[in-house]
């Protein structure tokens, strides 16, 4: 069964620019017949690729939400060839609250695919994206950031592709986005993936998908937002959806694989010894966890388990066992 209970105010077959809401039925004390309003914009002009663009899958990740809003206000149907489907706040309750997960059902949308048509609101949204929007789409661009707890430089994430054509297109999209870094996944993707992510949903539906990590820490970076806006237009141009756009010269992207993550094994205050982009070696002291409730106790050292560069770091100073402190990326061959 793929019939969703979510209704759309948008006619996906109509030409022109349409704005409105996906209505997720949600009957609660203050609103018996109410619905959750997920903003949606569709811009269509003739035959061409359909590109699904999403932000706010995690509600505390902001650059994509702003960049996609700017894009849809700027673009008119005559600028487009094909169709853009844009969700700025894909998990609306989470984005409205500015939290990673939905306050309604604690749902982490990017861990809930393929979703459930009769499930919680977050499961229903996942199901709608996978079963209703992915089948309309040729390409999927999903914009994230480190959220409240992590910070990333502007980074394009992609798989290796399951055919020569897909591999070439993914590489081409990476070059078009032109972020300083790319994180290349070693596994996953394709029609048989069991991934719970939106990118996994794209793979199951034969949609060529990339995602991006764009800053984080609950803030909006001027520099990363500008890179995001430029990168989105360059990718749309690359797939033929924005034919009149003239891309400027590319800056180049360093391709990385994530070789290790560094975790806290103690609860306390984390003092980092490295910043994003710095080179580290296996065994280097990554930082120290301090115990201000036992100020006479020596801080506990934390060490890197692989060599490379710091791709991402934790933002809040308070840590508990199991928190990710750093991700280390090494050059992808």
**Positions in the binding site for Zn ion (CB under 5 A):** 58, 61, 144
- Torsion of the alpha carbons at 143, 148, 150 and 155, rounded to the nearest 10: 20
Which residue is closest to Zn ion by CB?
A: 144
We find the least distance from the C-beta atom of residue 177 to Zn ion, in angstroms, to be 17
CA–CA separation, 324 and 261 (whole Å):
7
Two structure tokens written together for 132:
């209703």
**CB closer to Zn ion, 144 vs 314:** 144
Number of other CB atoms surrounding residue 179 within 10 Å:
25
Min dist CB 331 to Zn ion, Å, is 24
* 150 vs 264, beta carbon nearer Zn ion: 150
CB nearer to Zn ion: pick between 50 and 110 = 110
End-to-end CA distance of the chain: 43
CB 301 within 8 A of CB 285: yes
Choose between 43 and 156: whose C-beta lies nearer to Zn ion.
156
Close Cβ partners of 117 (under 8 Å, ≥ 6 residues apart): 1, 2, 3, 4, 5, 124, 127, 131
Looking at the chain, how many residues does it have? 333
Tell me how far apart the alpha carbons of residues 68 and 189 are, in angstroms, rounded to a whole number: 25
In whole angstroms, how close is the CB of 58 to Zn ion at the nearest point? 3
> Whole-number minimum distance, CB 210 to Zn ion, in Å?
14
Give the pair of three-digit tokens for residue 53. 């663009």
Q: How far is the CB of 285 from Zn ion (least distance, A)?
A: 29
CB of 80 or CB of 179, closer to Zn ion: 179
The residues near 328 (Cβ < 8 Å, ≥ 6 apart) are 258, 259, 260, 261, 262, 280, 304, 305, 306, 307, 308, 309, 310, 311
82 vs 215, beta carbon nearer Zn ion: 215
Q: Least CB distance from residue 217 to Zn ion, whole Å?
A: 13
């Amino acid at each position: 069964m793929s019939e969703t209970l979510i209704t759309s105010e948008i006619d996906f077959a109509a030409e022109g620019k349409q704005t409105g809401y996906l209505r997720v039925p949600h009957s609660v004390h203050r609103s018996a017949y109410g619905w959750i309003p997920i903003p949606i914009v569709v811009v269509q002009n003739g035959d061409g690729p359909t590109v699904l663009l999403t932000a706010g899958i995690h509600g505390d990740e902001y650059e994509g939400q702003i960049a996609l809003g700017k894009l849809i206000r700027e673009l008119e149907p005559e600028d487009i060839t094909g169709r853009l489907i844009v969700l700025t706040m894909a998990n609306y309750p989470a984005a409205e609250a500015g939290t990673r997960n939905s306050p309604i059902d604690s749902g982490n949308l990017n861990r809930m695919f393929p979703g459930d048509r009769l499930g919680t609101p977050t499961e229903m949204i996942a199901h709608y994206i996978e079963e209703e929007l992915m089948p309309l789409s040729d390409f999927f661009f999903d914009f994230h950031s480190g959220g409240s707890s992590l910070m990333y430089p502007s980074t394009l994430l992609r798989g290796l592709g399951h055919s020569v054509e897909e591999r070439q297109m993914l590489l081409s999209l990476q070059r078009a986005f032109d972020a300083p870094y790319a994180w290349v996944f070693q596994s996953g993707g394709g029609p048989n993936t069991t991934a719970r992510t939106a990118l996994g949903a794209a793979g199951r539906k034969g949609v060529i998908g990339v995602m991006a990590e764009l800053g984080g820490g609950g803030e909006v970076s001027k520099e990363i937002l500008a890179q995001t806006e430029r990168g989105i237009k360059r990718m749309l141009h690359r797939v033929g959806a924005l034919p009149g756009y003239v891309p400027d010269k590319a800056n180049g992207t360093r391709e990385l694989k994530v070789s290790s993550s560094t975790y806290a094994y103690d609860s306390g205050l984390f003092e980092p010894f490295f910043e994003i982009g710095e080179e580290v070696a296996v065994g280097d002291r990554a930082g120290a966890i301090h115990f201000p409730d036992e100020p006479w106790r020596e801080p506990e050292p934390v060490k890197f388990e692989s060599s490379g560069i710091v791709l991402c770091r934790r933002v809040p100073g308070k840590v508990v066992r199991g928190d990710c402190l750093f991700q280390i990326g090494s050059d992808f061959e």
